[in-house]
Amino acid sequence: MKAAVLHEVNKPLVIEDVSLPKPGPREVLIRTSVAGLCHSDLHFMEGLYPHPLPAVLGHESAGVVEQVGADVTYVKPGDHVVTCLSVFCGTCDNCTTGRPVLCTDTSVKMLPGASNRLSWARSEKLNQFLNLSSFAEQMLVHENAIVKIRKDMPLELAALIGCGVITGYGAVVNTAKVGPGETVVVIGCGGVGMAAINGAQIAGAGRVIAVDTNPAKLQLATKLGATDIVDPQNGDVVHAISPRAACITRSRCSAARRPPSRPSRCWRPAAPRPSSG
């Protein structure tokens, strides 16, 4: 099969002939239908994030199952799947206590440089990326690195669930733990930001304030759940947001614990968090 190989940072990807073995007992061979180009892929291409090279990048993908290993029961050939960039074992302490994203089984969640799934004519090792490597015509992955979807879901849309959608939704629901009625500010209405806006609406947020310099994105944000839009080109963002966010946050700011006679006007951006995926 063909795969796009990153040989060196800041150099173009090169299409190479690459091979995959037959699926092991719990592995699944997937025909890649769609692979998004995530900004994280770009960070690795630019050397901002390190990874053993050469490597086949790509992690936001969807495809069709071609073969399954002897012990795989979750999917069968012909099933449509979205790939998952945080494969999990399902049996370690973290997996069995509801935190599969923190899986510690490195035989399943292989560390960078550990996977030997990809091979080519050269003696040099070719590295798999995030146990997926979807910039390739096929992927060989653990069965816990895929989620089965309905066949009428367009695969070019399904692929986005593999990274951008879950990143934005997870930031709202898992990290910020937004609850009904709360106010959410989303700065930047790209793929992740739009998913965060949509996630905030799903979580029941009362006001969802979208911030972006692109008027078209702001208009789209209103269709995904934004109740207010702010364009920083029209003035100071904090000044624009503060009145809208006043008196709404209850549990996560010191102002909310002041006596009710004092106005609680509070807004500050969340601290930057390390990116993953």
- Residues known to be catalytic: 38, 40, 43, 59, 163
Burial 152-181 (b: 16+ CB within 10 A, else e): eeebeebbbbbbbbbbbbbbbbeebebeee
Altogether, the residues listed in the chain come to a count of 277
Minimum CB distance to Zn ion, residue 100 (Å): 6
Span of 8-16, 87-95, 188-196, 217-225 interacting with Zn ion by CB under 5 A: 87-95
| 33 and 64 Cβ atoms separated by less than 8 Å | yes
Q: Does residue 187 come out as left (phi exceeding 0), alpha (psi in the -120 to 50 range) or beta?
A: beta
Provide the 10 A C-beta neighbour count for residue 240: 17
Evaluate the CA torsion angle 128, 19, 151, 91 in order and state its sign: negative
Q: Return the residue of 40, 115, 198, 264 that touches Zn ion, per CB under 5 A.
A: 40
Q: Return the residue of 20, 29, 34, 38 that touches Zn ion, per CB under 5 A.
A: 38
| 34 and 63 Cβ atoms separated by less than 8 Å | yes
By CB under 5 A, tell whether 277 contacts Zn ion. yes
Q: Return the residue of 81, 95, 194, 196 that touches Zn ion, per CB under 5 A.
A: 95
By CB under 5 A, tell whether 45 contacts Zn ion. no
Q: What character string, x for contact with Zn ion (CB under 5 A) and - otherwise, covers 99-138?
A: ----x-x---------------------------------
By CB under 5 A, tell whether 84 contacts Zn ion. no
Q: Which is nearer to Zn ion, 49 or 120 (CB)?
A: 49
Burial 39-69 (b: 16+ CB within 10 A, else e): ebbeebbeeeeebebbbbbbbbbbbbbbbbb
Cis peptide before 180 (omega within 30 of 0): no
Q: Return the residue of 29, 163, 165, 166 that touches Zn ion, per CB under 5 A.
A: 163
Minimum CB distance to Zn ion, residue 240 (Å): 30
Q: What residues are paired with 28 via a beta bridge?
A: 68, 141
Span of 19-27, 47-55, 150-158, 161-169 interacting with Zn ion by CB under 5 A: 161-169
Q: Which residues bind Zn ion (CB under 5 A)?
A: 38, 40, 88-89, 92, 95, 103, 105, 163, 277
